[in-house]
Amino acid sequence: MPMAATPRNARSRLGRWLIAIAVLLVLSATYAIALHRIALRIGGDIEDSLRAAPVLDDHTPRLN
């Protein structure tokens, strides 16, 4: 027959849950920061690789 949870046991269990939640939050934040940095790096590389359209100096007069 299982024993009833004592107050000490319940506090210990709550403490473990809080620690686990804190660890998960830290890991999630670290993952989000890393993902953001990688996305910025890839976006910058893509921008750098795109060619700008050549600009032509067109000085011919136009008839309206």
Amino acid at 5: A
The pLDDT score that the predictor gives to residue 1 is 45
Q: For residue 5, give every residue at least 6 positions away whose Cβ sits within 8 Å of its Cβ, in sequence order, or none.
A: 13
Average pLDDT along the chain: 86
Residue 55 has pLDDT above 50, yes or no: yes
- Structure confidence by residue, pLDDT tens digits, 28-51: 999 999 999 999 999 999 888 887
Element holding 44 (H helix, E strand): helix 7-49
